[in-house]
Amino acid sequence: MVQLYIPLNFMGMLYREIKQALTDIEDMFNILEQDPEIEDTADAKPLQVDNAVVRFEDIHFAYIKERPILRGISFEIPAGKTVAIVGPSGAGKSTLSRLLFRFYEPQHGRILIDGQNISEVQQGSLRRAIGMVPQDTVLFNDTIGYNIRYGRWDASEQEIEEAARLAQIDGFINSLPEKFNTPVGERGLKLSGGEKQRVAIARTILKSPPILVLDEATSALDSFTEKEIQDALDRVSRDRTTLVIAHRLSTVVGADEIIVLDKGIIVERGSHNELLAESGVYASMWNRQREADEARETLKRAEEEE
């Protein structure tokens, strides 16, 4: 009994760690399409996505009972629109995306996609409807072409090339010795953070999900790469219902609505210009980040001049 318990317990731990890390959510979907901790109800039906309207209704959630993380969160992402979540580290931003993927169930409230409660639909169908561009993409030890094709196995060579072009990684790939056949990953060519993120964008373009979650990179990219990635993200999220989890503020300016989360509640909401005019939490976060960015650029210029 003890012997059986330990490996099971270990598997549970391992699973929770993978779930927590969310390094490459889409890998997990395929490996663990059925979440062992969260069970489908006997009468669960496949999710039917029509307009892809996503609605969080009065969500309360705690990982551990004594410590509430989300306290009454309500917002809607209308069909094809983008809502960005910002707020200090630990505010509960990524928790919202974990709940949308149903890695956890809220203790109160519900999340609806086109009117269907996600806890009542088949998990596999839910996860197939959502594409994720994670902060840090894990690459397989295979070719860069394989890593893009992972978004949709039956994609043609032409579709892969087109996805690479739209993700603005085609120039980089064409400069590689074996182009799409160049091995990447731990045992191949190591890609930079920005390049890996563009591979993730190309995968998502191939998958073409109706709902998208963009988990913006925490680490600062140089402003040229950031602009390129932003363009690629704009392209992939156009006309797709999109939730942006913004650890920095660079991806939120064009969002239809920005939600400022602090200690599990919504403290401000509105467009970028509306929130700047309010001179509240968002405006001060924005000013602080601008100062930090400027300081970084000045430092970089000084280093280049030396």
Instruction: Give the binding range for ligand ATP (CB under 6 A) out of 74-82, 84-92, 171-179, 280-288.
Output: 84-92
Interface pick for ligand ATP out of 60, 78, 94, 188 (rule CB under 6 A): 94
Rule CB under 6 A: which of 2-31 touch ligand ATP? 20
- 241 and 211 Cβ atoms separated by less than 8 Å: yes
Residues 242-301 that bind ligand ATP (CB under 6 A): 247
If one asks whether residue 93 binds ligand ATP (CB under 6 A), the answer comes out as yes
The token pair at 194 is 């920005």
| Number of neighbours of residue 300 by Cβ within 10 angstroms | 12
Residue 145 near residue 153, CB atoms below 8 Å: no
Q: Which of 69, 148, 205, 211 binds ligand ATP (CB under 6 A)?
A: 69
Tokens of 274: 């509306």
Torsion-angle region of 124 (φ positive above 0: left; ψ -120 to 50: alpha; else: beta): alpha
96: which 2 tokens?
């919202």
Interface residue with ligand ATP among 90, 141, 192, 284 (CB under 6 A) is: 90
Q: Tokens 């809607």 belong to which residue? A: 76
Our finding on whether 95 is near ligand ATP (CB under 6 A) is yes
Q: Least separation, in Å, of the C-beta of 278 and ligand ATP?
A: 21
Q: How far is the CB of 135 from ligand ATP (least distance, A)?
A: 8
Q: Check residue 91 for interaction with ligand ATP (CB under 6 A).
A: yes
Q: Check if the beta carbon of residue 59 is closer than 8 Å to that of residue 109.
A: yes
Q: Which residues bind ligand ATP (CB under 6 A)?
A: 20, 63-64, 69, 87, 89-95, 247
